[in-house]
Amino acid sequence: MKERIILLVDCQSFYASVEKAAHPEYRDKPLVVAGDPALRSGIILAACPIAKKHGVTAAERLGESLSKCPELIIVKPRMQMYIDVSLKITEIFESFTNLVEPFSIDEQFLDVTNSVGMFGSPTEIAKQIQTAIMLATGVYSRVGISSTKMLAKMACDNYAKKNSEGIYRIDKTKLAKDLWELPIEKMFGVGSRMKKHFFRLGIHSIGDLAQTPLPKLQSLLKTRFGKNADIHAELLWQTANGIDSSLVTPSTHRVAPKSVGHMMTLPRDYATEEEIDTILLGIYIKIDVQKDKKLFKRYRNNVFRRNRNCA
Ligand SMILES: [Mg+2]
């Protein structure tokens, strides 16, 4: 089978960027989208790059942000507008390929394997996409390119988000340079707890993981995952080795708050349900809530706990 060309396109500071496009007067000002601007306890859902330069980060409390940056412009979230812009971006992608898969409200996968002849090299396609999104929405996007979804995602998060072009391609033959030198927590699917676990096992880089023989890794992870250790170990090992056969699957399902809201009731002391859903949709959660309700529930509980911890 011919090697596929997958793109992961991520919108920078999505909600904040959409608001800035709608309010040109705030162009050069630090701006955040926050749960309830009337309350200092509201949660920051998105911060523009200027606000981030002041140390403002997503998911912190508005009061905290204001103490770092008193001149902060605070805007209320308009979820429907963000969803509309996201759908408009999907349409742009669909003019390049029919294989488009939304990953979250501000990230989508594209399989452009069969578009290369028509639109130019993968990098040229990425540039055209960036320009088209900017012209249509005013949002800056970053593009990771590779031969699998996982690698495209890691190309975006680790490189495209940090360089000046906003585009990076991980070549499958250069995994040693582009992937294996990265610290283990830069691998997709490895959070801070997993990182600690790997550190205890002497695995510090993605390369350390890739080069651990799979049967050894499976026995090492037994204490962490119990009877599911074999499956988890294999998935992690495959990711570290750039192996990922999952296809870009166009989905008719659109992530919308309506599909989230009725899933469970949350205590309201720390954040409103809408706030939490908005956070989940845009910042932490990168799953299809319909397909994977259990995982969603777990993420939701995590976000809730996080909020409680910083209260
Ligand atoms: Mg983003």
- With a cut of 50, say whether residue 163 has pLDDT above it: yes
- Ligand 1 centroid to Cα of residue 39, in Å, is 25
- Quote the ligand 1 centre to 140 CA distance (angstroms): 10
Longest dimension (CA), the chain: 59
Specify the higher pLDDT residue, 3 or 37. 3
Distance 107 CA to ligand 1 centre (A): 6
Question: Ligand 1 centroid to 11 CA: how many Å?
Answer: 4
Distance (angstroms) between ligand 1 centre and the Cα of 251 equals 20
d(CA 137, CA 18): 7
231-283 pLDDT per residue, tens: 889 999 999 999 998 999 986 554 443 333 333 333 333 345 555 555 555 44
Scan for tokens 């596929």, then name that residue.
Answer: 4
Q: Which of 60, 64, 101, 107 is catalytic?
A: 107
How does pLDDT run across 143-162, given as a tens digit for each residue? 999 999 999 999 999 999 99
Distance 226 CA to ligand 1 centre (A): 34
CATH numbers and ranges of domains, the chain: 15-75 (3.40.1170.60), 79-173 (3.30.70.270), 180-240 (1.10.150.20)
Beta pairing, strands 141-146 & 167-169: parallel
**Can you give the pLDDT at residue 158?**
97
The C-alpha atoms of residue 194 and residue 224 are separated, in whole angstroms, by 9
pLDDT at 92 over 90: yes
Residues 109 and 101: beta-carbon distance below 8 Å? yes
Q: For residue 64, what pLDDT is reported?
A: 93
Q: Is 101 a catalytic residue?
A: no
